[in-house]
């Protein structure tokens, strides 16, 4: 099975890049399944139902949410209704939505689990991700050996620990959360692990946002509204090929520049 994973979309720039570059990526890699990390697709702060449907129409088989899954009230309601969006399985129960999904494609089935780390999230307190992984995996392997985990965490130590536990138990663990692509992708015991796949949107920015407000917030402690940046647009992610036993055979890091620009992007200077 061929899988295309698109790293975290950040705001309108992320959506624009996805719309501009995804068709070419689909033609080049011919994926059976397209997974999109959409936790910051709406203004860098969660995912709205309107944006969810837009991403779906662009070709997403599954949209994965994380710590901002419940930020948009309309998404809380939507999580109970649509099968193409999942939120972290280890969020406190009961909560709206589902934390894992089996996607049928390419004559096979792929299980996808969303998990949230426990360190560094001040507003969200998730349950133990390792225990949650065991519960979800036990259910999925009854139908398929192909299992991918999106592990959204801020601590590299927590991600590394989870990688060691998950190796040999799933096809891949794709790290998200820090929005910076790392160079540590590797396959051990048939399991591909990567600390972070990066982000889709502005790369010449602070996590997708105009730098100056972020600098003032960090340096002075002042309240500043984050502003979407349109500088250095890129699509980032990972392409995976899995065998019938659910082992990753090969992987390819994706990072492509988006040279086109919308006619009216709004405020787009990183030197504001």
Which segment of 29-38, 214-223, 226-235 scores lowest on mean pLDDT? Answer: 214-223
6-30 pLDDT, tens digit per residue, is 999 999 999 999 999 999 999 999 9
pLDDT of residue 243: 97
Q: 241: which 2 tokens?
A: 């090929």
Q: Are 10 and 228 in contact (CB under 8 A)?
A: yes
Of the chain, the percentage scoring pLDDT greater than 70 comes to: 97
pLDDT tens, residue by residue, 137-188: 999 999 999 999 999 999 999 999 999 999 999 999 999 999 999 999 999 9
pTM score, two decimals?
0.94
Closest CA to 181 of 199, 202, 159: 199
Mean pLDDT of the chain: 94
Quick: pLDDT tens for 61-109. 999 999 999 999 999 989 989 999 999 999 998 899 999 999 999 899 9
Percent of the chain, pLDDT > 90? 88
Residue given tokens 């894992």 in the structure block:
100
pLDDT score recorded for residue 266: 56
Task: Report phi then psi at 11, rounded to 5.
Answer: 65, -165
* Higher pLDDT among residues 65 and 262, named by residue: 65
**Domains identified in the chain and CATH numbers:** 2-257 (3.60.21.10)
Whether residue 133 is predicted with pLDDT greater than 70 in this model: the reply is yes
How far from each other are the two terminal CA atoms of the chain, in whole angstroms?
45
Q: Using only the alpha carbons of the chain, give its radius of gyration.
A: 18
Six-digit token pair at 197?
Answer: 């796949």
- Largest distance between two CA atoms of the chain: 55
- So what's the pLDDT on residue 263? 76
Phi-psi region at 119: left, alpha or beta (left = phi > 0; alpha = psi -120 to 50): beta
Q: What is the pLDDT of residue 264?
A: 64
Q: Report the alpha-carbon distance of residue 68 to residue 70 in Å, rounded.
A: 6
Can you list the alpha helix ranges (DSSP code H) found in 64-111?
73-78
Quick one: pLDDT band at residue 223, thresholds 50, 70, 90?
Answer: confident
Looking at the chain, how many residues does it have?
A: 272
CA–CA distance, 4 with 21 (Å, rounded to integer) = 13
Report whether pLDDT(272) > 80.
no
Secondary structure of residue 97 in the 3-state scheme:
coil
Nearest to 234 by CA among 258, 261, 210: 258
**DSSP secondary structure of 208-237:** TB-HHHHHHHHHH-------B--SSEEEEE
Q: What is the pLDDT of residue 236?
A: 98
Q: Which of 21, 85, 94 is nearest to 53 (CA)?
A: 85
Show the CA angle centred on residue 107, arms to residues 35 and 256, nearest 5°.
30
Give the pLDDT band of residue 271 (cuts 50, 70, 90).
Answer: very low
What average pLDDT score do residues 212-223 get?
Answer: 89
Does residue 1 surpass a pLDDT of 90? yes
């Amino acid at each position: 099975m061929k899988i295309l994973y698109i790293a975290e979309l950040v705001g309108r720039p992320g959506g624009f890049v996805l719309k501009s570059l995804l068709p070419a990526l689909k033609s080049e890699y011919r994926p059976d399944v397209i997974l999109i990390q959409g936790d910051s697709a709406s203004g860098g702060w969660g995912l709205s139902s309107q944006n969810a449907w837009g991403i779906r129409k662009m070709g997403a088989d599954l949209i994965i949410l994380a710590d901002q899954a419940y930020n948009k009230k309309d998404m809380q309601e939507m999580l109970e209704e649509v099968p193409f969006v999942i939120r972290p399985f280890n969020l406190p129960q009961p909560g709206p939505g589902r934390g894992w999904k089996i996607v049928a494609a390419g004559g096979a089935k792929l299980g996808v689990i969303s998990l949230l780390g426990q360190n560094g999230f001040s507003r969200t307190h998730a349950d133990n991700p390792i225990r949650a992984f065991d519960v979800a995996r036990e259910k999925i392997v009854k139908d398929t050996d192909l299992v991918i985990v999106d592990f959204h965490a801020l601590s590299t130590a927590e991600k590394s620990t989870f990688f060691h536990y998950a190796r040999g138990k799933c096809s891949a663990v794709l790290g998200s959360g820090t929005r910076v692509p790392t160079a540590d992708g590797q396959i051990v015991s048939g399991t591909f692990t990567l600390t972070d796949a990066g982000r889709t949107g502005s790369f010449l920015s602070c996590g997708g946002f105009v730098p100056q407000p972020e600098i003032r917030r960090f340096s002075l402690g002042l309240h500043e509204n984050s502003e979407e940046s349109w500088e250095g647009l890129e699509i980032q992610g990972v392409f995976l090929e899995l065998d019938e036993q659910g082992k990753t055979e090969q992987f390819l890091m994706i990072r492509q520049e988006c040279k086109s620009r919308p006619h009216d992007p709004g405020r787009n200077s990183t030197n504001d």
